[in-house]
């Protein structure tokens, strides 16, 4: 099946005009599959980290959201140990007007602002709620250890 115009255009723009701290490169053999790198935002416990993600555009895209997953281990209340992300726009708040770029920017924003009230990794969320300082210290440690 040929690639829809939407995906071609988006890919062109991502390459030509990448968002700061984000790169997304499609696989040569599968243009719906992207290798993504997101830099940990400054001022967050993930600062200086380089996080690898995978992003896949399903057959239904853009009517259905892309599938996004962290490949780098990360200590974050909304990201579980399999790398799955709890983010509303990737689920029920998805709009076809959103794009790969906006999705990745939202993921980056999630790193700056963890939301322990809507957790995916419950143990991490508990840690964040009970002792935020200590939890951030662990997040920092993990970033230094895994996200190089």
Positions touching another protein (CB under 8 A) are 4-6, 8-10, 60, 62-64, 95-98, 102
- Minimum gap (Å) between residue 136 Cβ and another protein: 30
Please say which residue, 31 or 71, places its beta carbon nearer to another protein. Answer: 31
Q: Could you identify the residue written with the tokens 């419950």?
A: 122
Q: Could you identify the residue written with the tokens 């709620």?
A: 129
- Minimum gap (Å) between residue 57 Cβ and another protein: 13
Please say which residue, 63 or 82, places its beta carbon nearer to another protein. Answer: 63
Please say which residue, 6 or 145, places its beta carbon nearer to another protein. Answer: 6
Neighbours of 114 (CB within 10 A): 24
- Minimum gap (Å) between residue 93 Cβ and another protein: 9
Q: What Cα–Cα distance (Å) separates residue 82 from each residue in 9, 57, 71, 85, 96? A: 31, 19, 8, 9, 26
Residues carrying an active site annotation: 86
Cα–Cα distance measured from residue 24 to residue 49, given in angstroms and rounded to the nearest whole number = 16
């Amino acid at each position: 099946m040929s690639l829809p115009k939407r995906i071609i255009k988006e890919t062109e723009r991502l390459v030509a005009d990448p968002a700061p701290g984000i790169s997304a490169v499609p696989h040569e053999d599968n243009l719906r599959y992207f290798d993504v790198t997101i830099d940990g935002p400054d001022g967050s416990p993930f600062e200086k980290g380089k996080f690898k993600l995978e992003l896949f555009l399903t057959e239904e895209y853009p009517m259905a959201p892309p599938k996004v997953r962290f490949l780098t281990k990360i200590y974050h209340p909304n990201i579980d140990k399999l790398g799955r992300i709890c983010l509303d726009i990737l689920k029920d708040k998805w709009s076809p007007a959103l794009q790969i770029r906006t999705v990745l920017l939202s993921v980056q924003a999630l790193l700056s602002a963890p939301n322990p009230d809507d957790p995916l990794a419950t143990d991490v969320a508990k840690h964040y709620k009970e002792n935020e300082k200590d939890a951030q210290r662990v997040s920092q440690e993990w970033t230094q250890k895994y996200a190089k």
